[in-house]
């Protein structure tokens, strides 16, 4: 169990339970993957803006700072790419580093990338290791959207390299759902794991986030509490007028 700052109890779920939440959401409640991803990406961008001072700072367009998004090839990466678009729409300089070649992306992640490319943000894609290191160093915030709750074993290849680069050079890191490399159920790390200042988890917190370093926030992606009842979970909606809340 977790609690909000208002004292509302929020149950945690394992990776297997979260897979069932996603299945019920799409197959029985009619929520689309892109619909939930849009909510996730918008909330992620909002968290980035808060970390950079928010709109109350009075900073204008590109003076607001540079953000680098590390995006995997799955749903987590799609949320990161959606976040990149929302930040671009608000005048931020956004760099995108993919864990795989753009042409190999499929599904929702490919859809989000297509929107970015149509908007001209595709020119900001960085593939070479030296380019990735450069934009990680330049960023005021790095968004970790490499691996979500579906981690299997230790990160490998390009993903592991990007986590290492980020741990070495990033000033501040915001992870989406789960810090990449962390087991969402157990909280254990079989290999390299992202060191995040803040984690924005989706729908419900994951059991493995109990002792995660840094701050933990929960984002609303549009799943009604009645869905959780199908899993035997009693969820008192914690958001109120907000779309994301701080968890303790």
Q: Which domain holds residue 43?
A: 2-52+68-247
| DSSP character string of 114-176 | HHHHHTTGGGGEE-SHHHHHHHHHH-SEEEEES--TT--SS--HHHHHHHHHHHHH-S-EEEE
pLDDT of residue 122: 79
Instruction: From 19, 27, 13, select the one nearest 233 (Cα to Cα).
Output: 13
DSSP 201: E
pLDDT of residue 59: 44
Domain count, the chain: 1
In a domain, 16, yes or no: yes
| DSSP character string of 53-99 | T-GGG---GGGG-EEEEEE-SSHHHHHHHHHHHHHHHTT-EEEEEES
In a domain, 57, yes or no: no
For residue 170 the two structure tokens come to 């990033």
Contacts of 167 (CB under 8 A, 6+ apart): 192, 194, 195
CATH of the domain at 8: 3.40.50.10260
pLDDT of residue 68: 97
pLDDT of residue 58: 44
pLDDT of residue 77: 98
pLDDT of residue 215: 98
pLDDT of residue 38: 98
In a domain, 109, yes or no: yes
In a domain, 142, yes or no: yes
In a domain, 58, yes or no: no
φ and ψ at 176, to 5 degrees?
-95, 120
Instruction: From 236, 190, 189, select the one nearest 211 (Cα to Cα).
Output: 189
Q: What is the mean pLDDT of each run of 10 residues along the chain (248 residues)?
A: 96 98 98 97 98 62 76 97 97 96 95 94 86 96 97 95 98 98 97 98 98 97 97 95 97
Q: Is 228 exposed, middle or buried (0-12, 13-18, 19+ CB in 10 A)?
A: buried
In a domain, 106, yes or no: yes
């Amino acid at each position: 169990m977790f609690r909000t700052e208002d004292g509302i109890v929020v149950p945690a779920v394992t990776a297997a339970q979260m897979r069932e939440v996603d299945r019920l959401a799409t197959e029985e409640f009619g929520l689309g993957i892109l619909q939930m991803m849009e909510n996730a990406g918008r909330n992620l961008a909002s968290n980035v803006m808060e970390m950079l001072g928010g709109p109350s700072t009075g900073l204008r367009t590109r003076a607001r700072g540079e953000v680098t998004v590390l995006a995997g090839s799955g749903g987590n990466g799609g949320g990161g790419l959606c976040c990149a678009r929302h930040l671009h729409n608000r005048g931020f300089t956004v760099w995108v580093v993919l864990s795989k070649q753009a042409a190999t992306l499929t599904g929702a992640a490919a859809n989000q990338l297509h929107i970015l490319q149509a908007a001209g943000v595709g020119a900001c894609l960085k593939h070479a290791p030296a380019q990735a290191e450069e934009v990680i160093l330049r960023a005021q915030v790095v968004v970790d959207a490499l691996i979500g709750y579906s981690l299997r074993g230790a990160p490998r290849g390009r993903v592991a390299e990007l986590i290492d680069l980020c741990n070495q050079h990033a000033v501040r890191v915001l992870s989406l759902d789960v810090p990449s490399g962390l087991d969402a159920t157990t909280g254990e790390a079989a290999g390299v794991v992202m060191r995040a200042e803040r984690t924005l988890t989706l729908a419900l917190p994951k059991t493995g986030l109990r002792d995660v370093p840094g701050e933990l926030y929960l984002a609303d992606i549009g799943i009604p509490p009645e869905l959780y009842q199908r899993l035997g979970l009693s969820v008192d909606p914690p958001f109120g007028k907000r779309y994301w809340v701080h968890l303790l």
